[in-house]
Amino acid sequence: MCHIPVFCWISATVLETMLGKVKRRDLPKTLTEMYTHFLLIQTNVKNLKYRGSDETNPKMSASDTEIILKLGQLAFVQLEKGNLIFYEEDLRDSGIDVSEASVYSGMCTEIFKEERGLGQEKVYCFVHLSIQEYLAALFVFHSCVNENRNVLRAVKSKPHSDRVQLSELHGRAVDQALESKNGHLDLFLRFLLGLSLDSIQPLLGGLLTQRRSRSPVPDPQTRRKRRSQSIKKTVQYIKKKIEDESSAERTINLFHCLNELNDNSAVEEIQNSLRSGKLSDKELEPHQCSALAFVLLMSEEILDEFDLMTYNTSVAGHHRLVPVVRNCRKAILNSCNLRVKSYEILASALQSSNSPLRDLDLSNNNLGDSGVKLLCAGLMSPNCKLQRLGLNSCDLRVKSCEILASALQLSNSPLRDLDLSSNNLGDSGVKLLCAGLMNPNCKLQRLGLGWCNLT
């Protein structure tokens, strides 16, 4: 996330405030801790501006709590709907008085904004999706611990005598995130889990006091014990999901979730194998491949070369490793029996503004015309910096040539070397390809067309 400007800004704001005032061990260690400190800092800024308070960390007042929870409810409801822009009706539905909306935005200028839409009507939004996701998670967590409600369930509350278990809330959130087709709940899930840690509770003490609970409130020691037990259950549930889940992207996020819960056991096992040089000697299970992918993606060093077939694992394991292309200069995915989802991951990597990928070998995969179409979504991105692409023996046909020609004609196309050997392109396919080759924007210096059924 360090490549996201708003996260850099949030981190800088938090660290600038905390450095020199707290011990190093007390600095934020997780994403949730960073955003929680940011929320407190913005609350302090607001109190200083409107109340003249000069306390560095005043206890959250009742009015602060009310504003944050109403914004949290708005954030959660609209996140479920996939909305980033809200209207006056949406605010009213979350208990926000429209006449006071400007006060909300004025008091929380670094969190919530009021703007004018195309028709000059007032529209509202959070300054970044991640802030909406954090506040949504805070609302859901508060509803559980303060009001004994699991708002993620179809039935939103339980009888007074039956306490909602935190592990139940976590499990439902994990399931919903995995069911999401576009991953729009991934960061929300990480925040929700991170808010459960003991280290967060003192920071949000004023917000998470249980004075409005519907059922008898256990003493603090009992609450900590129950919270710890729930977290252990959640960790085991996530690890089971990592074993069962087939999506490479989803499993990566589940490791981020474990990190928010301060459980790094699976990652440490892989790190120890990497350090000892024993990783190549053992056959990796798919879930171990996901842990390896997480480690390589989180590394501060960019891999010079990533050869997928050097890892001794199954086809499913190889698929779990594909996201590593986001952190390497050269990726060799030769003869890996890649699936459609793998090509989507590759296209996404090529579209990333900070992608280091320059050389990609996909030879001997059943890419086909449909795969080339997916891949070209990345090749045609203005962020793409790929210079060499190997598509030898990828079952390409005439349609693939037309698609590739479109990519070669772009003014920003960085491709210098394209290998299409051993594909049944024929004369008609090469003719279509020439439309791109003859374009003045084309920068191709080498083209491989051996064994392409040309006359």
For residue 2, the one-letter residue type is C
Check pLDDT > 90 for residue 234: yes
What integer is the mean pLDDT of 18-28? 83
DSSP 363: T
For residue 270, the one-letter residue type is I
What integer is the mean pLDDT of 80-99? 86
Q: Determine the length of the chain.
A: 455
Neighbour tally for 118: CB within 10 Å: 6
DSSP 302: P
Mean pLDDT lowest among 154-158, 243-247, 387-391, 399-403? 154-158
pLDDT in tens, 36-69: 999 888 888 777 766 665 555 546 778 788 888 9
For residue 283, the one-letter residue type is E
SS3 388: strand
Q: What angle do CA 40, 46, 52 make, to 5 degrees?
A: 115
**Residues in contact with 36: Cβ distance below 8 Å, sequence separation at least 6, in sequence order:** 28, 195, 200, 203, 204
Task: Tell me phi and psi for residue 398, to 5 degrees.
Answer: -60, -45
Predicted pLDDT at 49:
67
d(CA 184, CA 178): 10
d(CA 396, CA 414): 22
Edge-to-edge, what's the strand order for the sheet holding 303-307?
303-307, 328-332, 359-361, 388-390, 417-419, 446-448
Q: How far apart are the first and last CA of the chain?
A: 51
pLDDT confidence band for 107 (50 / 70 / 90):
very low
Neighbour tally for 119: CB within 10 Å: 6
What integer is the mean pLDDT of 15-22? 86
Q: Decide the pairing of beta strands 417-419 and 388-390.
A: parallel
Q: Which residue has the higher pLDDT, 376 or 3?
A: 376
SS3 229: helix
Predicted pLDDT at 210:
47
Task: Specify whether the backbone of 95 is left (phi greater than 0), alpha (psi in -120 to 50) or beta.
Answer: left
Check pLDDT > 80 for residue 84: yes
Task: Tell me phi and psi for residue 381, to 5 degrees.
Answer: -75, 140
Check pLDDT > 50 for residue 233: yes
Mean pLDDT lowest among 202-206, 233-237, 286-290, 431-435? 202-206
DSSP 313: B
What integer is the mean pLDDT of 256-284? 88
Predicted pLDDT at 345:
96
What integer is the mean pLDDT of 70-85? 92
pLDDT in tens, 300-358: 899 999 999 999 999 999 999 999 999 999 999 999 999 999 999 999 999 998 999 99
pLDDT > 90 fraction of the chain, expressed in percent and rounded: 60
Dihedral angle computed from the Cα positions of residues 189, 297, 375 and 176, in that order, rounded to the nearest 10 degrees: -10
Mean pLDDT lowest among 16-25, 159-168, 434-443? 159-168
Check pLDDT > 90 for residue 400: yes
Check pLDDT > 80 for residue 261: yes
Closest CA to 448 of 365, 376, 363: 363
Q: Report all structural domains of the chain as residue ranges with CATH numbers, in order of start.
A: 142-263 (no CATH), 333-448 (3.80.10.10)
- CA 79, 81, 86, 92 dihedral sign is negative
Task: Specify whether the backbone of 335 is left (phi greater than 0), alpha (psi in -120 to 50) or beta.
Answer: left
Check pLDDT > 50 for residue 299: yes
Contact 345, 323 (CB under 8 A): yes
pLDDT in tens, 112-162: 777 776 666 788 888 889 999 999 999 999 999 888 899 998 655 554 457
What value does the mean pLDDT of the chain take? 88
Q: Which residue has the higher pLDDT, 223 or 18?
A: 18
Residue the block writes with tokens 């990828």: 394
**Residues in contact with 90: Cβ distance below 8 Å, sequence separation at least 6, in sequence order:** 74, 77, 78, 83, 124
What integer is the mean pLDDT of 203-216? 63
d(CA 174, CA 179): 9
pTM score: 0.89
Q: What is the radius of gyration, based on Cα positions, of the chain?
A: 26
Contact 112, 127 (CB under 8 A): yes
**Residues in contact with 282: Cβ distance below 8 Å, sequence separation at least 6, in sequence order:** 273, 312
Cross-strand partners of 303: 328
Check pLDDT > 70 for residue 257: yes
**How distant, in Å, are the alpha carbons of 24, 165, 234 from that of 17?**
13, 36, 33
Instruction: Print the SS3 string covering 437-451.
Output: HCCCCCCCCEEECCC
d(CA 326, CA 141): 33
